[in-house]
A and B are shown apart, each in its own frame.
Chain A
């Protein structure tokens, strides 16, 4: 240490007093150093003067034309269909009045939530954000959102699952909803003498099991594609309705404080035992490709999939395509409800403008345009009539009825992200052969612990 210090001192002494840094002559080097120092002091002083003299940039959101800018974030980057509709709405709105101008920023869906959470952490959320229905309670509880306060007449006109309610207050509303169904070929069901179910008379559990057995015997390696190769929210969205149809649920919806009994009771065990047997008996697999290609290629006889795949399936399969309700496992067929919706952020200083824009945008023409562009169910009866696919007698009208009859929103609790990921992990473990009861018990424990450590999330 002492040696080091001595060497260091010597070195600096040399470079200072030796005055020969960078190979320059002593006097010149010394002069250069002084000049550099002087230049640095001058630059710092000038910088400080500039900063103190010029003042802070404008903090308001008023643009050069005197209009208040309302920024909105969408999850639609890479989706030209949705963006085209937004472009239309925004340009119509901006031209319709002189107070506000709406500016859009698009984010990719897969990472949208991360972007919103990061912006919330730094206090940089825009006025308007869209969000997937089930995440809304968490964001409302986290203080990202304010009450939507759109006219009651407007929210009442929407599909119930297109309105996001948390603790009896409306925080979000959407232009559309999605629905799952079972796609089948009429010719295949007829050839195998399988009854074609209807909304009034869906398949019972016994009928559905028998159909799978028959189709397996008919030569389909895996008779149904349920999308088990997918991941993330799909698992909760697609398979929690099966659990609910058996009589279970992801959480006790009376208290929202525990999953005990709902997710690990006898009904849930029965549901997941059935789910496990789908794979052990070879009725479904998890090695396919995400999407509906296996059904289109007739590698599977049935496909448990969403409305968004319906038009492509119609184009491939034509009149032979059947859109069937999910089976009734004892408590009626169930479909997950609640999709992307709009909300106003808590710190939005121009909330009135944001509301004005949203009210303008919930127009039947725009809703129908969304519906036809994305092949999703329009949220209003008026838009249904304007839509090419979802009006009475149109090719995809079945989805409207399915949604109206069987849709059940996912639990409206801030714990939902944890419920969803825990549900996915448990269901995947069970699919892979884990013991049903103990896996569900552990899932309940994880969910309850999270709720407890967050003081019940306000319930």
Chain B
């Protein structure tokens, strides 16, 4: 009987703790969801109602004059499809190339023993100290003088200047010190004996990277993918400086289209709802791996 009672009370205690932790998590979830709910709900309301609803809970409820008008007006003001295409293209290229280049660099720094790798790692990490804004203008000057190939009258010719291109939005952001560091840290947790066994079987460095390290580093790749995706998707200052043609602009520059003399709040909310969607999808797809990588590498993003 005593055993039964104690098992029953333990179960009750466990349930209580579970209920409490769920209640706590629900409060946190609601807290974090509020901005998103406000954004989506406001995107359905006219400007005057958004402003008048802000002093009550109505701000979070789809009540009043609800319509999709703001979405229609967004498409009239901003070439959304073009900006989305540009952002998807640029961001995908940065993420894919970044995963490859940075993981190889992390691999070289973590698994291959060579003279000076400690110094190289220190120099790479040191670059994190330099804020992008301080080097942005010299970089604009620099990329404006880089050689490139162009088609002119059906002939391939060379020219100078990367401004107004996709590559100027991609190449400078492929190599990333934080990603290299994160890969290096994660790869260091994989036992070296695996490499040695592979080498005995005749594997070269690239085979070890491709067949052993990459398959074992899913969470690190997912984390770097997310951490590369976010700033690439949110990129604003750089494209603003190096892209003057509207057809090459990414989504974030489009945000500024709504800040006229009178700010179009409803349209801003509709636009942000549209451009936040890909971010949410990427996070949801990678979130499990993201969390496990952060737990494994001890790195906080």
- Using a CB–CB cutoff of 8 Å, the interface residues on chain A facing chain B are 1, 4-5, 7-8, 11, 14-15, 18, 20-23, 29, 50-51, 54-58, 73, 77-80, 105-111, 114-115, 118-119, 121-124, 289-293, 296-297, 306, 308-309, 312
Contacts and interface: CB of A to CB of B under 8 A. Distances in A.
B258 A78 contact: yes
B7 interface: no
Contacts of A296: 48
**B-side binding surface: helix, strand, loop or mixed?**
mixed
A55 B202 contact: no
B218 interface: no
B276 interface: no
Given A115-B241, A309-B261, 10 more contacts: A5-B115, A22-B204, A55-B158, A57-B158, A77-B257, A78-B259, A108-B254, A121-B140, A123-B144, A289-B51
Interface string B96-137: 000000000000000011110000000000000000000011
B2 interface: no
Given A7-B113, A105-B244, A291-B263, A22 B201 contact: no
A23 B203 contact: yes
B256 A118 contact: no
A114 B137 CA distance: 10
B145 to A, nearest CB: 8
Given A15-B205, A20-B202, A22-B207, A57 B157 contact: yes
B186 to A, nearest CB: 22
A185 to B, nearest CB: 18
A358 B155 CA distance: 36
Contacts of A79: 260
17 contacts: A8-B114, A15-B205, A22-B207, A57-B157, A58-B152, A78-B77, A78-B78, A78-B260, A80-B77, A105-B245, A106-B246, A107-B244, A108-B254, A114-B240, A118-B136, A118-B241, A306-B261
A115 B240 contact: yes
B234 to A, nearest CB: 14
Contacts of B244: 73, 105, 107, 115, 119, 124
Given A5-B115, A11-B112, A55-B158, A109 B256 contact: yes
B163 interface: yes
B156 interface: yes
B157 A308 contact: no
B240 A50 contact: no
Contacts of B136: 118
Given A23-B202, A55-B157, A124-B144, A108 B114 contact: no
B45 to A, nearest CB: 13
Contacts of B112: 8, 11
B34 interface: no
A57 B160 CA distance: 9
B113 A8 contact: yes
A77 B246 contact: yes
B56 to A, nearest CB: 15
Contacts of B237: 114
Contacts of B207: 21-23
B159 interface: yes
B52 A77 contact: no
A375 to B, nearest CB: 9
B76 interface: yes
Given A22-B207, A118-B137, A109 B201 contact: no
Best-surrounded residue of B143, B241, B244, B263 (most CB of chain A within 10 A): B244
B253 interface: yes
Contacts of B145: 122
Nearest to A122: B144
Nearest to A14: B199
A186 B47 CA distance: 26
Contacts of A80: 76-77
Given A80-B76, A121-B137, A291-B262, A50 B206 contact: no
A77 B158 contact: no
B141 interface: yes
A115 B206 CA distance: 43
Contact of B163 (A5, A124, A289): A124
By Cβ-Cβ distance, the 9 closest A-B pairs, closest first, are: A78-B257, A21-B204, A108-B256, A122-B144, A118-B241, A20-B202, A57-B159, A57-B157, A110-B256
B289 to A, nearest CB: 28
A11 B260 contact: no
Nearest to B155: A54
B59 interface: no
B27 interface: no
B222 interface: no
Contacts of A18: 202
A1 B145 CA distance: 41
B113 A109 contact: no
A101 B204 CA distance: 60
B48 A111 contact: no
A50 B151 CA distance: 12
A28 to B, nearest CB: 12
A289 B262 CA distance: 10
B262 A1 contact: no
A369 B27 CA distance: 54
A435 B122 CA distance: 48
Nearest to B164: A124
A308 B136 CA distance: 35
A446 B237 CA distance: 27
A15 B156 CA distance: 40
B204 A109 contact: no
A82 B99 CA distance: 44
Contacts of A56: 157-160
Contact of A309 (B51, B149, B262): B262
B213 interface: no
Q: Which of A18, A23, A79, A296 has the most chain B CB atoms inside 10 A of its CB?
A: A23
B150 interface: yes
Contacts of B155: 54
Nearest to B79: A77
Nearest to A77: B257
Contacts of A78: 77-78, 256-260
Contacts of B241: 114-115, 118-119
Contact of A122 (B140, B150, B240, B256): B140
Nearest to A7: B113
Interface string B251-281: 0011011111111000000000000000000
Contact of B156 (A50, A106, A118, A312): A50
B242 interface: yes
